[in-house]
Amino acid sequence: MIGMVARREAHLAIDEITITAAREAVVDFSRPYFMESSACISRAPEEKSRAFAVLSPFPMEVWASIGLSVIAIGLLLRAVRTMIGWLRGGGEGMVRLTLHDLTFNMYRSLVVQGNRIHTSQWSLRVVIVAWYLYCYNIYALYSGTLTAVLAIPAYERPIDTLSDVLQATSNGLYPVVIRESSIDFMFQTATSGIYHDIGRLITGDRNYVDAPPSGIAAVLKGKGKVAYIDARLSSEIQMMLQGRDEFFMGRQSFIPQGYGVVCPSGASYREDFDMVLERLVEAGLVIKWKADEILKLNQQRPSASPSASTTGRRRRGRRGGPGAITITHIQGAFFIYVIGGALALVALIMEVVLTKKVTVAMARRVEEEEERGE
Beta strands 174-178 and 208-209, pairing class: parallel
How many CB atoms within 10 Å of residue 93?
Answer: 10
Could you tell me if 249 and 189 lie in one domain? yes
Could you tell me if 175 and 91 lie in one domain? no
Could you tell me if 248 and 112 lie in one domain? no
Query: Could you give the CA distance from residue 26 to residue 263 in angstroms, rounded to a whole number?
Result: 10
Could you tell me if 161 and 301 lie in one domain? yes
User: What pLDDT is recorded for position 80?
Assistant: 75
Give the CA-trace dihedral at 81, 83, 84, 88, to 10 degrees.
140
Could you tell me if 320 and 192 lie in one domain? yes
Range 8-14, long-range pairs (CB < 8 A, 24+ positions): 8/264, 11/263, 11/264, 11/267, 11/269, 12/261, 12/262, 12/263, 12/267, 12/269, 12/273, 13/261, 13/262, 14/261, 14/262
The three-point CA angle 362-365-371 to 5° equals: 145
Could you tell me if 277 and 301 lie in one domain? no
Residues pairing with 228 in the sheet: 41, 176
DSSP three-state, residue 43: strand
Q: Determine, yes or no, domain membership for 207.
A: yes
Could you tell me if 167 and 313 lie in one domain? yes
Residue finishing a domain among 151, 182, 198: 151
Block mean pLDDT (10 aa), the chain, length 374: 89 84 87 88 82 73 83 80 67 59 72 63 71 73 74 80 92 91 87 92 92 92 90 88 89 86 89 87 85 78 42 43 56 63 74 83 82 71
Could you tell me if 72 and 102 lie in one domain? yes
Q: Determine, yes or no, domain membership for 373.
A: no
Query: Could you give the CA distance from residue 105 to residue 125 in angstroms, rounded to a whole number?
Result: 14
Could you tell me if 188 and 319 lie in one domain? yes
Query: Could you give the CA distance from residue 204 to residue 315 in angstroms, rounded to a whole number?
Result: 33
Q: Give the total number of structural domains in the chain.
A: 3
Could you tell me if 174 and 311 lie in one domain? yes
Query: Could you give the CA distance from residue 274 to residue 23 in angstroms, rounded to a whole number?
Result: 18
User: What pLDDT is recorded for position 95?
Assistant: 47
Inter-residue contact 33 to 277 (CB < 8 Å): yes
Q: Determine, yes or no, domain membership for 368.
A: no
Burial profile 142-177: b = 16 or more Cβ within 10 angstroms, e = fewer:
beeebeebbeebeeeebbbbbebbbebbeeebbbbb
| pTM metric for this prediction | 0.56
Domain that includes residue 269, residue range? 1-28+260-283
Q: Determine, yes or no, domain membership for 340.
A: no
Could you tell me if 87 and 1 lie in one domain? no
Q: Determine, yes or no, domain membership for 170.
A: yes
User: What pLDDT is recorded for position 162?
Assistant: 92
Q: What is the CATH number of the domain that holds 10?
A: 3.40.190.10
Q: Determine, yes or no, domain membership for 202.
A: yes
Q: What is the CATH number of the domain that holds 68?
A: 1.10.287
Q: Determine, yes or no, domain membership for 335.
A: no
Query: Could you give the CA distance from residue 174 to residue 165 in angstroms, rounded to a whole number?
Result: 8
Could you tell me if 168 and 305 lie in one domain? yes
Inter-residue contact 161 to 40 (CB < 8 Å): yes
Query: Could you give the CA distance from residue 70 to residue 135 in angstroms, rounded to a whole number?
Result: 10
